[in-house]
């Protein structure tokens, strides 16, 4: 498990999304390792976040594969930069989300290179802002996606080493409500209570949730008012929508506009702002066929699942590319100082991905 030394090296570099220098340091280490096995680097330079990196190999006829990962983590400098191991687990920032996944991809590629002396028709995209929503990198990902037949994403595996075939779509929105301030004691009737309007809208928004089909609407933050003796002139609702099918996205967006534009308290006005950050990744028959093929290639039984969380797999899948996620190691505690990854899952994932990519390379670049 010498690759765990590589994992330790990059995990000890703080690569919080807003720590550009740290993210770029991780990128330089990945550059060194990937160029040594024949990849060429295209750098998408950024001023305030880490640079995005596309590592490419020569292209020939046959099916093209995009491997997808991210170099950033959620931990600000000084909060969680340690790394240690015991008999079963490795512990550290990014060991499962997702520096561990990047190591799985890297090791599989190293194995292919050692066996064949070259790699073709496989590219590896590493972005720097996934943990904050990929607001910058998504445009690169969406543009590049059209060049590939398949995309394999190295977020963490499930507890039973499941791959991921579906992820919810997610959008974040703000409703800003304007009312009219007035003294609550002397001029109560002259005021227009933005907070009261917000409370009514909150209840209407919550009614949009449908847990049976995986739709949720969460008003996670409310900010409004001046003080107890003043009718609130302004209130703001910060909310998130998540959905599992495109028709639910359309229903929610229509409802958001309807609820925003309807005045429950006479005299208030409201403005809706926000966007879909990642559209839904819906399971499909092409994924099922590919997983079945992978089971024949690898000899593994490959379970799969849908998840409520999102990843950059959402972006690629939205372009019609056959996309599978969860090729990283199994771990838990991600986004906390208890993050860990199971050592045995690295072994399984590296072996599985090596067999998959070697089959691709040895069979005229076709699955």
Kindly list the structural domains of the chain, giving each domain's residue range(s) and its CATH number in brackets, ordered by start.
3-167+280-362 (3.40.630.10), 169-278 (3.30.70.360)
Q: Identify whether the C-beta of residue 350 lies closer than 8 Å to the C-beta of residue 313.
A: no
Q: Which stretch of DSSP H or E encloses residue 115? A: helix 99-116
Quick one: tokens of 29?
């280490």
Q: Tell me the pairing of strands 163-167 and 304-307.
A: parallel
For 72, list phi and psi in degrees, rounded to 5. -90, 160
Cα of 90 vs its chain's centroid, Å: 22
d(CA 183, CA 187): 5
Q: Identify whether the C-beta of residue 241 lies closer than 8 Å to the C-beta of residue 252.
A: yes
- Per-residue pLDDT reduced to its tens digit, 66-104: 999 999 999 999 999 889 999 999 999 999 999 999 999
Q: Identify whether the C-beta of residue 141 lies closer than 8 Å to the C-beta of residue 314.
A: no
Alpha-carbon torsion angle 9, 10, 11, 16, nearest 10? 150
Q: Identify whether the C-beta of residue 259 lies closer than 8 Å to the C-beta of residue 251.
A: no
d(CA 292, CA 283): 14
**In this predicted structure, what is the pLDDT of residue 280?**
95
Q: Tell me the pairing of strands 65-70 and 150-153.
A: parallel
- Per-residue pLDDT reduced to its tens digit, 217-241: 999 999 999 999 999 999 999 999 9
Quick one: tokens of 61?
């006829």
Tokens 């409370």 -> residue: 199
CA distance readout (Å), 252 to 152, 248, 327, 334: 30, 6, 31, 30
Q: Give the residue among 355, 328, 295, 366 at the shortest CA–CA distance from 152.
A: 328
Q: Identify whether the C-beta of residue 242 lies closer than 8 Å to the C-beta of residue 170.
A: yes
**In this predicted structure, what is the pLDDT of residue 1?**
84
d(CA 244, CA 72): 26
**In this predicted structure, what is the pLDDT of residue 75?**
97
**In this predicted structure, what is the pLDDT of residue 276?**
94
Q: Which residues does the chain have with pLDDT short of 50? A: none
End-to-end CA distance of the chain: 29
């Amino acid at each position: 498990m010498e690759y765990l030394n590589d994992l330790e090296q990059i995990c000890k570099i703080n690569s919080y999304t807003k720590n550009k220098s740290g993210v770029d340091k991780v990128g330089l280490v990945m550059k060194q390792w990937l160029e040594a096995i024949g990849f060429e680097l295209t750098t998408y330079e950024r001023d305030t976040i880490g640079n995005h990196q596309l590592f490419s190999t020569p292209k020939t006829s046959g099916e093209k594969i995009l491997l997808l990962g991210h170099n950033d983590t959620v931990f600000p400098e000084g909060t969680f930069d340690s790394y240690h191991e015991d008999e079963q687990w490795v512990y550290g920032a990014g060991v499962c989300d997702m520096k561990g996944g990047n190591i799985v991809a890297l090791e599989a590629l190293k194995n292919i290179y050692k066996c064949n002396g070259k790699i073709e028709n496989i590219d590896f995209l590493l972005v720097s802002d996934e943990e904050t929503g990929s607001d910058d990198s998504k445009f690169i990902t969406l543009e590049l996606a059209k060049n590939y037949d398949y995309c394999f994403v190295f977020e963490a595996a499930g507890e039973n080493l499941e791959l991921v075939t579906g992820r919810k779509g997610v959008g974040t929105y703000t409703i800003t409500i304007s009312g009219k301030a007035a003294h609550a004691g002397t001029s109560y009737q002259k005021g227009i209570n933005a907070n009261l309007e917000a409370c009514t809208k909150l209840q209407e928004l919550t009614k949009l949730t449908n847990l049976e089909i995986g739709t949720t609407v969460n008003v996670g933050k409310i900010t409004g008012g001046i003080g107890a003796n003043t009718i609130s002139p302004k209130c703001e609702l910060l909310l998130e929508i998540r959905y599992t099918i495109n028709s639910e996205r359309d229903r929610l967006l229509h409802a958001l506009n309807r609820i925003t534009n309807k005045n429950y308290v006479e005299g208030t006005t409201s403005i809706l702002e926000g966007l879909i950050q990642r559209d839904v990744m819906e399971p499909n028959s092409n994924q099922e066929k590919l997983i079945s093929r992978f089971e024949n290639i690898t000899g593994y039984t490959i379970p799969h699942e849908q998840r409520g969380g999102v990843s950059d797999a959402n972006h690629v899948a939205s372009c019609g590319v056959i996309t599978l996620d969860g090729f990283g190691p199994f771990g838990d505690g991600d986004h906390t100082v208890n993050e860990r990854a199971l050592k045995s899952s690295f072994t399984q994932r590296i072996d599985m991905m090596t067999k998959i990519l070697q089959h691709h390379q040895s069979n005229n670049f076709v699955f």
